[in-house]
Amino acid sequence: MSKINFGFEKIHQDEKENRVAGVFDSVAKNYDLMNDLMSFGMHRLWKEVLVEIAELNKDSYVLDVASGTCDIPKIVLREFPNNKVYATDINHNMLEVGYKRSIDENFFKNLYFGAASGEKLPFKDNTFDAIFVGFGIRNFTNIKVGLEEMRRCLKDNGNLIILEFSNPQSGIFQNIYDWYSFRILPKIGKLVANDENSYKYLVESIRMHPNQEKLKSMIIDSGYNKCKFFNLLNGVVAIHKAVK
Ligand code: SAM
């Protein structure tokens, strides 16, 4: 059987979902705090931009794949309270944090939850006007399978909008980013969450993820009509928007 990447490690394809689930089981409790610390709060701004780029209508059907603790549904429902938003993830612990937050922070109306992989979605063909994936797609076992599955669930002219770590465009920026990612991030993970290994995986998985252009061609090869991307923070993060 073919081997695939789990960070810098090579593992059997059918091990990956469990290994990824293990990482997010471990980080779920501290995930929101760690996100703020690691990105200096910038992930909040990136998610605002993501929702803006989606150009939703007031009555859109929205799916958030790899929803985790539901940051993206929270923004969508703040801006468009009448949208129907489905939050899905393979990880129950992450979704449970999201579910509790949706009650504590009052964005539960029109929000629905379900455990599901982005590579096998429990929805009919042509259901959604927009599908988001925020910092999730690099963890998929097979990104192409996921892209095709999400396309199946989109209506014609529906949008897939992906937010993911990518490749910095300047050499100096790349050096600083490498130093921060490999030296500092796992230490923050150890100090705050007592979990150096999970944060090491997260950094390594970013390095193994296809760059902006490569992801764009994978999206086009998966049957989408158009795809463009926007670099944020010199390409540390990119948003890809594709149309079915
Ligand atoms: N979207 C949220 C955000 O931006 O804060 C959470 C991102 S978190 C880094 C990645 C999430 O992807 C985790 O909750 C993990 O369980 C989920 N995930 C990983 N592989 C997945 C898959 N194949 N299908 C669905 N969710 C997956």
In angstroms, the CA 128 to CA 140 distance is: 21
In angstroms, the CA 97 to CA 99 distance is: 6
Instruction: Give percent of the chain above pLDDT 90.
Output: 72
Domain holding 129: CATH number?
3.40.50.150
Q: Are strands 3-6 and 9-12 parallel, antiparallel or unpaired?
A: antiparallel
Q: Domain of 188? A: 3-243
Average predicted confidence (pLDDT) for the chain: 94
Mean pLDDT, residues 194-201: 87
> Which DSSP symbol is given to 114?
E
Most informative mutation of 135, 138, 163, 209 for ligand 1 (most atoms within 8 A of CB): 135
Q: Give the number of domains in the chain.
A: 1
Give yes or no for residue 227 having a pLDDT over 70. yes
Mean pLDDT, residues 110-114: 97
* φ and ψ at residue 55, rounded to 5 degrees: 50, 60
Q: Is the CB of 67 under 6 A from ligand 1?
A: yes
> Does the CA dihedral 148-154-157-163 come out positive or negative?
negative
Ligand 1 atom at minimal distance to the Cα of residue 67: 1
Instruction: Give percent of the chain above pLDDT 70.
Output: 100
Ligand 1 centre to CA of 46 (Å) is: 16
